[in-house]
Structure 1
Amino acid sequence: MAPLRSDGGGETMNAAARKIQRIYLTLTLGNTLAASFIWGINTLFLLDAGLSNLEAFAANAFFTAGMVLFEVPTGVVADSWGRRASFLLGTVTLSVTTYLYYLLWQFSAPFWMWAVVSVLLGLGFTFFSGAVEAWLVDALQFSGYEGGMEKVFGRGQMVWGIAMLTGSVAGGVIAQATNLGVPFLLRVGVLLAMFAVAFWLLHDVGFTPERSTHPLRATRALLSASIENGLKNPPVRYVMLAAPFSAGVEIYVFYALQPYLLELFGDPRAYSIAGVAAAVVAGSQVVGGWLAPWVRGLVRRRTTVLILGGAASALTLVVIGLTHVFWLALVLLVLWALVSSAYRPVRQAYLNDMIESKQRATVLSFDSLMGSSGGVVVQPLLGRSADVYGYPASLAISGVIDLIALPFLLASRRQQHQADRANASTGTSSAESPLP
């Protein structure tokens, strides 16, 4: 049996589990670095291509529509053909579609072409969503790891934040020094490198793909099982129903803050400021990932973190919409990102503890689908409100929409699922937890 050693956080982890965690963190680092090269300048890139605010956020909405369309089919790929196959397909698809985005910008393409490629870009990301997380949970369980998943997801989020910090700042600075298209080419290069890394390191562990000679039959069976374990499972269903509001708002706010902060700063071509704004979010992700297990240890129930975090996030957005001072808006952005990032690992752990292994990737993809479906509606709606009323008003409206998620989280809490109280001793014992 592999010897147990402390993982540095007061928790023992055997050699096999440490290896699984290292692979997960490596994949998270590379993928996030590739993606984040454009996160700080994406909205500016679309506007520079000649799109209006409505068209720019509509293009983002088509991206999320692509995720809605392909989430479950690609989740089925992960459950039927393996999480490794899904990840490799994702790197190839995202590389090709990112390069097509660059070409559209080069030739000032009409909006319908942006819409088509945005949908295909969404396809690329759906190969990742659910697959890596499902691989991690199954592989850790197979290796004998019995600790709280908040710690592992928290570390993943910290690495995600570091990679985003590096990529978004670099993308903004490089765009200002060259042009807005270069960060997209950098993304393509890093994604191709990640294909090679995943081909070497990533193998399905603790999970056997159920390949079938009848793929449509396998798809129906897995989809039916995922619905049974997802939407028909009340505590899971209510968490998923909250996602369209919280995730839809989060997507819009992240991209709307780029032109809004430039507007407050007073220089529409200060692309590095947009990169720094994305980096602020990234730094908050690092701190939030570190805080997540500690925050979980303060309360007896995971839903307490989700509900209080959701309320604080919504209130912060309303206040951001009311300020007209650049530095104050930046501080509030840090607060919003910190709150959002601190409860995200808790949500991941709560959801994973309620899902069966065989349908894990499909159910997680379905959860991502629910969040993306909110983005399809919310982004163009709020983009249009930014055209008519300005960015401050659209951010305040975002906070109000974010509040709609809270009743669903309360409904999930009322189901009293054992996952709500699982690993409650992560930071302090449940008996010592000061909050319910």
Structure 2
Amino acid sequence: MSYMPNVWKLYAIRFFYNLIPAYVIERLFWEERGMTIQMVVYAEIIFAITVVLLEVPTGIIADKWGRKHMIVLSALLGCCEFLILVYATEFWHFALVVFLAAIGSSASSGAENALLYDSLLSARKEQSFEKYLGRLNALDISSIMLAALCGSLLADRFGYTFNYWISLVSMLVSLCITLMLVEPAGSRHGENDQQMPVHVYITASLRLFRDNKGVLLVVLSGMVTGAAINFIDEFWQSYLDRLGIPVIYFGLFSAAMFLIRLPGNIMAYMLLSRFSYRLLLSGVTAVLALCFIYLSIIKDYSGLAAMFFICLFAGMIEPLAAGYLHHRIDSSMRATMGSFQSLGENAVLILTGLGFGYFSSKYDIFGGYGFIGIICSVFFIYFIFASKKMHIES
């Protein structure tokens, strides 16, 4: 039986899940409610720590009892987040929101890709996973662009809070569509699998990384670069504000920033037919390192071009890293392994977040970006030498 209808449902879920006009003015809204950059970094660390603690357990739960349940939980918590944010005025309000967001992120991170892969597997289209994931991300980006363009105009006309009410409605629509998903037969496991101890899942996952050094290195590159890009997504508004750019232009910039990610997502699977994983991933890391350093040194409008270059190359990361991993794991461990990947990215985010917050407090946002540039440079050097010793398959 084919479960391909899940694919268009996942497309719709992603579209409404990211049709969030609140994001384009999020940092300004938080600052208006008293959240400084340092406090935002603390909130990000709370998010990352929670994800680190819950990623693997939620991945195991998804593999044992169903991926759909975790995706529904993620959408439900998303609704709760925006309802709280409308009335948030204290740090603990925002801390509660990021805590719920972390639970939702953990619940869906491994489950969504696992459900997509197994739905494709049911139709014998699993080799096209990178293509469908790229399209899923492209639709995701299109939704973010639309929300950004509308969000800046709405915020300028009606105020920041109005955007959060619209975002809540969009999240409710996403929740309704998640209820329509059907669990693929290949992802349902028997009673023996459900009774399998948690430590068996963890041991099997760690053994895969131990026995496949190439997989470990590719996933690690996705963790580092993914964590680095997070600081663009979370703090570009602060960067534009420091350059004196009016908020009415934020939506246009946000839309352009996500539009430029589309080619990488859509063409990642085609690039693999011409270039190796090693060349593509080392190239992405090098570009990120150079551009973050440029952002920290050159404090004028040309820094916006550096941001665009980061976003251009960022689009390739998830299809490459996730595809490399999913083609080499069993369906019974798919969500768990995806959660390990997300766990590692958030662990890196915690460590880099501490440095980013410290240097941002001393040298503003420019110092924080300089620190991320150094981290990417160090990893680039490590990747070049390590990839020569480890076998990375095409």
Could you state the TM-score of these two structures normalised by the residue count of structure 2?
0.91
Partners of 2:219 and 2:341 within 8 A in 1: yes
CA–CA distance in 1 between the matches of 2:147 and 2:190? 37
Question: What are the residue-to-residue correspondences of 1:148-167 with 2, within 5 Å?
Answer: 148-167=128-147
Corresponding position of 1:295: 271
Corresponding position of 2:36: 52
2:155 corresponds to which letter in structure 1? A
Question: What are the residue-to-residue correspondences of 1:29-44 with 2, within 5 Å?
Answer: 29-33=15-19, 36-44=20-28
1:54 corresponds to which letter in structure 2? Q
Shift of 1:79: 0.5
Corresponding position of 2:118: 138
Which residue of 362, 367, 392 corresponds with 2:341?
A: 367
1:96-119, Cα deviation, whole Å (9 max, x unpaired):
133223322xxx21x344334322
- Bigger drift between 75-84 and 93-102 goes to 93-102
Relative to structure 1, the CA distance from residue 18 to residue 73 in structure 2 (aligned partners, 3 Å threshold; closer, same or farther) is closer
Is 1:334 the counterpart of 2:320 in the alignment? no
CA–CA distance in 1 between the matches of 2:368 and 2:214? 31
Is 1:279 the counterpart of 2:279 in the alignment? no
Which residue of 101, 107, 123 corresponds with 2:103?
A: 123
Q: State the secondary structure of the residue aligned to 2:316.
A: helix
Which residue of 281, 300, 303 corresponds with 1:306?
A: 281
Which residue of 71, 85, 99 corresponds with 1:101?
A: 85
Partners of 1:289 and 1:342 within 8 A in 2: yes
1:81-134, Cα deviation, whole Å (9 max, x unpaired):
111111111111221133223322xxx21x344334322221112111011101
Corresponding position of 2:291: 316
Which residue of 124, 149, 156 corresponds with 1:176?
A: 156
Relative to structure 1, the CA distance from residue 412 to residue 206 in structure 2 (aligned partners, 3 Å threshold; closer, same or farther) is farther
Relative to structure 1, the CA distance from residue 409 to residue 96 in structure 2 (aligned partners, 3 Å threshold; closer, same or farther) is farther
1:288 corresponds to which letter in structure 2? G
Shift of 1:137: 1.0
Question: What are the residue-to-residue correspondences of 1:347-386 with 2, within 5 Å?
Answer: 347-386=321-360
Is 1:391 the counterpart of 2:365 in the alignment? yes
Q: State the secondary structure of the residue aligned to 1:30.
A: helix
Pairwise CA RMSD: 2.5
Is 1:25 the counterpart of 2:11 in the alignment? yes
Corresponding position of 1:224: 203
Corresponding position of 1:261: 240
CA–CA distance in 1 between the matches of 2:52 and 2:226? 13
1:327-382, Cα deviation, whole Å (9 max, x unpaired):
x2222222110111134312221121222211110110111011111222222421
Shift of 1:55: 0.7
CA–CA distance in 2 between the matches of 1:333 and 1:390? 17
Partners of 2:24 and 2:250 within 8 A in 1: yes
Is 1:234 the counterpart of 2:213 in the alignment? yes
Question: What are the residue-to-residue correspondences of 1:65-104 with 2, within 5 Å?
Answer: 65-104=49-88
CA–CA distance in 2 between the matches of 1:24 and 1:151? 14
More helix by share: 2
Relative to structure 1, the CA distance from residue 219 to residue 176 in structure 2 (aligned partners, 3 Å threshold; closer, same or farther) is farther
CA–CA distance in 2 between the matches of 1:103 and 1:118? 15
Partners of 2:219 and 2:321 within 8 A in 1: no
Relative to structure 1, the CA distance from residue 372 to residue 198 in structure 2 (aligned partners, 3 Å threshold; closer, same or farther) is same
CA–CA distance in 1 between the matches of 2:86 and 2:174? 20
Shift of 1:172: 2.6
CA–CA distance in 2 between the matches of 1:205 and 1:92? 24
Partners of 2:289 and 2:373 within 8 A in 1: yes
Q: State the secondary structure of the residue aligned to 2:289.
A: helix
Corresponding position of 1:432: none
Shift of 1:322: 2.5
Shift of 1:226: 2.3
* Gap runs ≥5 in structure 1: 3-15, 422-436
* Gap runs ≥5 in structure 2: none
CA–CA distance in 1 between the matches of 2:199 and 2:223? 24
Q: State the secondary structure of the residue aligned to 2:18.
A: helix
- Bigger drift between 219-228 and 121-130 goes to 219-228
Relative to structure 1, the CA distance from residue 116 to residue 210 in structure 2 (aligned partners, 3 Å threshold; closer, same or farther) is farther
2:333 corresponds to which letter in structure 1? Q
Shift of 1:183: 2.5
CA–CA distance in 2 between the matches of 1:84 and 1:346? 24
Task: Give the total of aligned pairs.
Answer: 393
Partners of 1:79 and 1:359 within 8 A in 2: yes
2:304 corresponds to which letter in structure 1? L
Relative to structure 1, the CA distance from residue 275 to residue 64 in structure 2 (aligned partners, 3 Å threshold; closer, same or farther) is farther
CA–CA distance in 2 between the matches of 1:352 and 1:332? 32
CA–CA distance in 2 between the matches of 1:413 and 1:143? 37
Partners of 2:122 and 2:184 within 8 A in 1: no
CA–CA distance in 1 between the matches of 2:121 and 2:114? 11
Corresponding position of 1:8: none
Q: State the secondary structure of the residue aligned to 1:203.
A: coil
Which residue of 242, 245, 251 corresponds with 2:230?
A: 251
1:175-225, Cα deviation, whole Å (9 max, x unpaired):
22222223233222222211211212443343214567987x643332332
